[in-house]
Amino acid sequence: MGAKTVNKLPVPGATLHYEVTGSGPVLLLIAGGGTDAGIFSGIVGQLSADYTVVAYDPRGNSRSRYDAEPVDGCDAEAADSADEVVAQATEDALAVIDAVAGDSPAYVFGSSSGAITGLELITRYPERVRMLVAHEPPCVEVLPDATDAAAFFQDVYDTYRRDGLDAADVLFSIGTGMDQDEPPPVEDLLPEYQELFRRMRANAASFYEHKLLPFTRYEPDLDALKQVAHKIVPAAGHDSAEYLPGRPIQVLADHLGWPVVTFPGPHTGYATHPAPFATLLSRLLEAELT
């Protein structure tokens, strides 16, 4: 793995932390939920042999701080006004691409809400994306049972506001199938992963308060995506495709006319199965080059 550089990028309302490793065509990794660039550490080394791999902390997560902290949940009206906006997350991703790739388009891999950012990025700026691998975007509005799915995420949010973080975690994990893949105890992890888990835990309240509902309520522009279907790879984890986060990509894949590519592992397979995950991702990117 080449040397990693750590950088800061001012954007409207925040300063983004991003990391660059390797050389070659730019590959942007977009983290989801309450995670950050560190969630991809297991795949960066392998990918950086052929790509300039760029990973960043989404605004409000970990080291990408808001210029002013959003309002907490005590004032519902004020809290709603501080919610994240998918369009702003898209502008952040574009700003990172511009900072590293200049005028050249980038490969993009996004997972979970990061895949939603990727979908909006290729919708708004198709010329800036060379290929998008959209891994389990939870855009449940495309599902035939969208009302039930939306009600679940609303219930998670309400549970967080009423009963706190731990209760919301339990409901969210069970409802998304993530309780099937419990991580090892933090004390058994390497120091860098212990630090990652501490950062993710610190991000959890902001995720439930300001990100969960805006991203899961996202409605992709299906007609616009159809126009760039040749540049989109729908993807889901082998162990998570039938759970809520993995189901919307199957609907999108049918619309785009492509099969869903199955990656190893669960929703976070890039962290649990890094070597085979990176190998498959590399093969998909290489296929575009031929």
Task: Inform me whether the pLDDT recorded for 181 exceeds 80.
Answer: no
Q: Render pLDDT for 23-47 as a digit per residue (tens, 0 to 9).
A: 999 999 999 999 999 999 999 999 9
Task: Inform me whether the pLDDT recorded for 135 exceeds 80.
Answer: yes
Task: Inform me whether the pLDDT recorded for 223 exceeds 70.
Answer: yes
pLDDT averaged over every residue in the chain: 91
Confidence (pLDDT) at 182: 59
Instruction: Judge whether 4 and 19 are in contact, CB under 8 Å.
Output: yes
Domain segments of the chain: what residues? 4-289
Confidence (pLDDT) at 290: 43
CATH number of 4-289: 3.50.50.60, 3.40.630.30, 3.40.50.1820, 3.90.1300.10? Answer: 3.40.50.1820
